[in-house]
Structure 1
Amino acid sequence: MDFRLFLMAFGMLFLAELGDKTQLTVFTLVTQYNKPLPIFLGASLALVLVTLIGALFGNVVTKYIPTHYLKLIAGILFVGIGIFVLIESAPEVLKQLGKQ
């Protein structure tokens, strides 16, 4: 096993996930339901499966689509999702600010 590659993947994903929407979602669920163990286990399983899908299909996709196009598409999707989340949350935030 290539431990250098293992540690690089671990480090990059660990840093990328800090403050990520997944972590914020887990935080919100725990504060809402106050049951950290089932939330941790469910979120962990979801992340493992998503990562497995990425690992299995990543090699296949790069055979047909160059890496720089995949990065561009991922960036556009990331920005698009961010805009969607902002639009969805804006009315609630504005409503809360109006109550103060």
Structure 2
Amino acid sequence: MQAFLIATGLVALAEIGDKTQLLAFMLAARFKRPWPIVLGIFVATVVNHALAGALGGWLTSVIGPTALRWGLGLSFIAMAGWMLIPDKLDEDDAPKPGHGVFVTTVIAFFLAEMGDKTQIATVALAARFPLDFIGVVAGTTAGMMLANVPAVLVGDKLAHKLPVKLVHAVAAVIFAVLGVVTLVAGGALLG
């Protein structure tokens, strides 16, 4: 349950103002069909984060505990810094029409999430909680949905009212604390 709650909270905060949330706004404005978009985001996130979680789990089997501890601790601290850099949606990330709303959303969201903050966070969280793959993937998916479903349903009305800098600062602090705790507590936290 701890892995689920931490993953949900971190990813929900990290996703605010993230390029995939900006993509959710764009999809909602372009297609005006929220439920196929929400379902597409869910499918893309589950697949993407399951793969990221599997990578995180695999890393725990090939990296020794000391290197893993340092790698995770420094990764969480790096994520804290990355949270403070605003995201923007590139033209390459814009959805290409022609496949229907659901398929367009799945493809665009899956590709936009590749190498994104929340995907990297999923890898790190899965390595941090190697015995709770389901909790991590379910939590990161829940966090994505918490941030993106309102973006799809309410759209631009919500985007301009969120204190994005404050939300990112809170997420950065949480990532930094998780990194420091991982470094200080060492192997006691892993697993």
Q: TM-score, normalised by structure 2?
A: 0.34
Give the gaps of 5 or more residues in structure 1. 90-100
**1:23 match: secondary structure:** helix
Shift in Å at residue 44 of structure 1?
Answer: 1.1
Partner of 2:46: 48
- Higher percent of residues as helix: 1
2: distance between equivalents of 1:38 and 1:6? 26
Show the 5 A alignment for 1:14-93: 14-62=12-60, 63-64=62-63, 66=68, 67=71, 71=75, 85=90
Query: 1:5: Cα distance to partner?
Result: 2.1
Aligned mates of 1:8, 1:50 — CA distance in 2: 19
> Within 2, Cα distance between the matches of 1:40 and 1:24?
14
How many pairs does the alignment contain?
A: 78
Secondary structure, aligned partner of 2:17: coil
RCO (CA 8 Å, sep 6+): is it higher in 1 or 2?
2
- Structure 1 residue 45: Cα displacement: 0.7
| In 2: Cα distance, 1:17 partner to 1:32 partner | 21
Give the AA of the match of 1:29: L
2:3 corresponds to which letter in structure 1?
Answer: L
- Tell me how far 1:43 sits from its aligned partner: 1.1
- Where does structure 2 lack aligned partners over 5 or more consecutive residues? 93-191
4+ runs deviating over 3 angstroms = none
Alignment partners' CA distance in 2, 1:47 and 1:8: 17
Q: Percent identity?
A: 36
Which string of whole-angstrom CA distances, capped at 9 and with x for unpartnered residues, describes residues 31-90 of structure 1? 01111110110011101111101111112134248526x93xx87xx8xxx69x3xx59x
Pair member with larger Rg: 1
RMSD: 3.1
Residue type of the partner of 1:46?
A: A
**How far off its partner does 1:6 sit?**
1.4
Counterparts of 2:40 and 2:3 in 1: how far apart (Å)?
Answer: 27
